[in-house]
Amino acid sequence: MNRRQIRLGFIMSAVCVLITLMLPLPLAGTPVAALMARPLTFLLTGVIVLVFAFAAGFRGLPAIVIGLVGAGITADMTLTLLRDPLIAGDAASGFWMVVIGVWLASWICVVALAGLKPRNSAFRKVIDLAIPLLFGAAVFYLWEVVVRGAGVPPVLLPSPSAAATKFMASLPILGADFVQTFIRGVLIGYAIGCGAGLLVAILAHRFEFLGRGLLPLGNFFSALPLVGVAPIMVMWFGFDWPSKAAVVALVTFFPMLVNALAGLQAAGEIERDLMRSYGASYAQTLIKLYLPAALPFIFNALKINATLALIGAIVAEFFGTPTQGIGFRISTEAGRMALDMVWAEIALAAIAGMAFYGLVALAERVTTFWHPSMRT
């Protein structure tokens, strides 16, 4: 998108906001009179139009920054307007025009940001981070505005702010659920499953016969819907966390086995000959050559398993739990139609999942810095 189109985009957003003066918001009386009754909103509309017009006059980064400021003010205005009970629930065309203006301006900013080609590497990193963040913020803004403006019943879809409020208000419950599901179920099962998978992979690598038998089996099992064993595990290990840990261990075992086995076989012929010429024992070769060579593969499995583990634990909780846990809370609150609590739990699961994945990825960066895929 070139400079001319960006300028046109900003002018269009300004026009969108300007049109609002002629459309119902929906407040009683003629649109202009209704806005005049709210001097602040009226004033803001003028300011926003000016800011967008101003942004259209610049080029490059200044235009983007000014456009973002305009979009921010406009978004804030719509959110403030939504507090008005007359508008919330049945917003009319004038309101939606403003929202379209915000969307257009932020989209133009994202496009313009993506078009920048900075020389400075730190600056480039900031932009790489800013683009998805802006995109996400716009999506959340639209979700919030549509839910509150169109009056979507909270049973269908709560607004992000309602879920966030619920999240902050029920921190103790969420904390207990987190400990039950994540610390007890996921982490213990993950450690057992990945540890056992790695151990069996080492054995299968040491004894070729075992490896040739286990590899097809492992491939077969890792394609099966293994979470289905959850009811059996609940029957064997009871309602509490051991059954969840067992499901997680089983679900994480096979990806680790298959990946670690492939990794152990990744050590080169020359390196193996070198170890032999040093007269290294098997244990030394394993620690100094095979395991380090397998690390990228092992981390691949650890990352796959980080997601699988959380899913396994949550699904296992659908089959019975003591009265806490993320999966338990999701299924009971969904049954009671308390969707804001459900979304708060999902946010918790998402944060936990991302943090877990991030930690594994960080550990990978620290330990396999030598691998070509990391040297970018």
Q: How far apart are the first and last CA of the chain?
A: 29
Minimum distance between the CB of residue 237 and other proteins, rounded to whole angstroms? 11
Residues in binding contact with other proteins, number by CB under 8 A: 62
How many Cα atoms are found within 13 Å in the side-chain-facing hemisphere of 202? 17
134-163 residues near other proteins, rule: CB under 8 A: 134-136, 155-157
Please report whether residue 311 would count as binding other proteins according to CB under 8 A.
yes
Minimum distance between the CB of residue 244 and other proteins, rounded to whole angstroms? 13
Residues 6+ apart with CB under 8 A from 110: 131, 134, 135, 138
Determine which residue in the list 6, 110, 256, 301 makes contact with other proteins, applying CB under 8 A: 110
**Measured distance CA(65)–CA(58) in Å, rounded:** 10
163-222 residues near other proteins, rule: CB under 8 A: 209-214, 216-217, 220
* DSSP state at residue 154: T
Number of Cβ within a 10 Å radius of residue 248: 31
Please report whether residue 229 would count as binding other proteins according to CB under 8 A.
yes
316-345 residues near other proteins, rule: CB under 8 A: 318-320, 326-327, 330-331, 334-335, 337, 339, 342-343, 345
Minimum distance between the CB of residue 354 and other proteins, rounded to whole angstroms? 5
Tokens of 63: 């235009």
Tokens of 77: 């205005």
Please report whether residue 5 would count as binding other proteins according to CB under 8 A.
no
Minimum distance between the CB of residue 220 and other proteins, rounded to whole angstroms? 7
Return the residue matching tokens 């152990």: 264
Tokens of 111: 């496009």
The string of DSSP letters for 329-343 reads: HHHHHHHTT-HHHHH
Nearer to other proteins, 187 or 311 (CB): 311
Determine which residue in the list 27, 188, 310, 344 makes contact with other proteins, applying CB under 8 A: 310
Give the Cα-Cα-Cα angle 236, 240, 244 (nearest 5 degrees): 70
Minimum distance between the CB of residue 224 and other proteins, rounded to whole angstroms? 5
Burial (CB count <10 Å: 0-12, 13-18, 19+), residue 373: exposed
**What type of residue is 294?**
A
Please report whether residue 266 would count as binding other proteins according to CB under 8 A.
no
Minimum distance between the CB of residue 252 and other proteins, rounded to whole angstroms? 14
**Measured distance CA(364)–CA(360) in Å, rounded:** 6
Nearer to other proteins, 144 or 333 (CB): 333
By CB under 8 A, name the binding residues for other proteins. Answer: 110-111, 114-115, 128, 131-132, 134-136, 155-157, 209-214, 216-217, 220, 223-225, 227-232, 234-236, 306-307, 310-311, 314-315, 318-320, 326-327, 330-331, 334-335, 337, 339, 342-343, 345-346, 349-350, 353-354, 356-358
